[in-house]
Amino acid sequence: MNQLKPLIAANWKMNGNNALIAEFTTKFNASVIKDVDVVVCPASVYLESFKRQVSANNSVIQVGAQNLSDKLSGAFTGEISTEMLSEIGIDHVIVGHSERRSLFGETPELVAKKYQTALASNITPILCTGESEQQRDAKETFTIIANDIDAVVDLCGIESFKNGVIAYEPVWAIGTGKSATPDQAQEVHQFIRSHLAKHDEEVAAGVRILYGGSVNEKNAAELFKQQDINGALVGGAGLVVEKFMSICQNA
């Protein structure tokens, strides 16, 4: 981990409920976690009440959304706009998670539009990218990741990474218990940073790159020792407050 302030985010996916929100709020309140940005992303129906609770408790937890529409308003049944997220004080949003790309057909271009839309409302996008096992075996990892990042650079410009976050999430490591090794993760994180540096070295040095994929309270410390890993995007372990707090403490 270099000098950038670490960011640890929990992606609850389609899990969690009011009881879990209350538990996170209470237990984080009683903890002494500092010098790390903590973001929890519940399902959208819980965003407003979670946000209210953390605000009322002056909590270290920031609340993020898991997705947003690339459209500003209109006849888009089931979608959520940046204006709605802004109105309830949400300041982070995950874009381009591999589940959205593979299950909901989100293309790099659509994800780039969502990234742009979030930034336009001063919401920090957490841009996910990562290769499948098949792509890794075919040695396509860097091509896939460069393609996802270039779609954002093309649409929003390299400067947009001053206000965004990148999460490297190898698909083969998500929910499998098979995390990338610290060396494997570092290799890709370094690639991402050097790819951005071709456009602008300062922006590349300042962007936080999170690792995601079977991060837990046991492997977090070793991952965080890597030079280009600036935090984590946590799925399963982010649903268990003790595990998630331990990951935050390791940062």
Q: Which residues are catalytic?
A: 97, 169
Query: Rounded to the nearest whole angstrom, what is the least distance from the CB of residue 44 to ligand 13P in the complex?
Result: 15
Query: Rounded to the nearest whole angstrom, what is the least distance from the CB of residue 235 to ligand 13P in the complex?
Result: 2
73 φ, ψ to 5°?
A: -170, 175
Number of residue whose CB is nearest ligand 13P: 235
Nearest to 210 by CA among 220, 200, 201, 202: 220
Sequence-distant (6+) residues with CB within 8 A of 73 are 81, 83
Residues 8, 14, 19, 25, Cα dihedral to 10°: 20
Enumerate binding residues for ligand 13P (CB under 6 A): 11, 97, 169, 174-175, 212-215, 233-237
Mapped to the 3 state alphabet, what secondary structure does 189-206 carry? HHHHHHHHHCCCHHHHHH
Looking at the Cβ atoms of 97 and 203, the one nearer to ligand 13P is 97
Rounded to an integer, what is the distance from CA 41 to the centroid of its chain?
9
Nearest to 29 by CA among 18, 21, 110: 21
Query: Rounded to the nearest whole angstrom, what is the least distance from the CB of residue 179 to ligand 13P in the complex?
Result: 8
3-state secondary structure (DSSP) of residue 212: strand
Query: Rounded to the nearest whole angstrom, what is the least distance from the CB of residue 105 to ligand 13P in the complex?
Result: 18
Query: Rounded to the nearest whole angstrom, what is the least distance from the CB of residue 162 to ligand 13P in the complex?
Result: 23
Looking at the Cβ atoms of 4 and 240, the one nearer to ligand 13P is 240
Looking at the Cβ atoms of 54 and 180, the one nearer to ligand 13P is 180
Q: Which residues pair with 139 in a beta bridge?
A: none
Looking at the Cβ atoms of 156 and 233, the one nearer to ligand 13P is 233
Looking at the Cβ atoms of 141 and 214, the one nearer to ligand 13P is 214
What six digits make up the tokens of 243?
């595990």
What six digits make up the tokens of 110?
């659509």
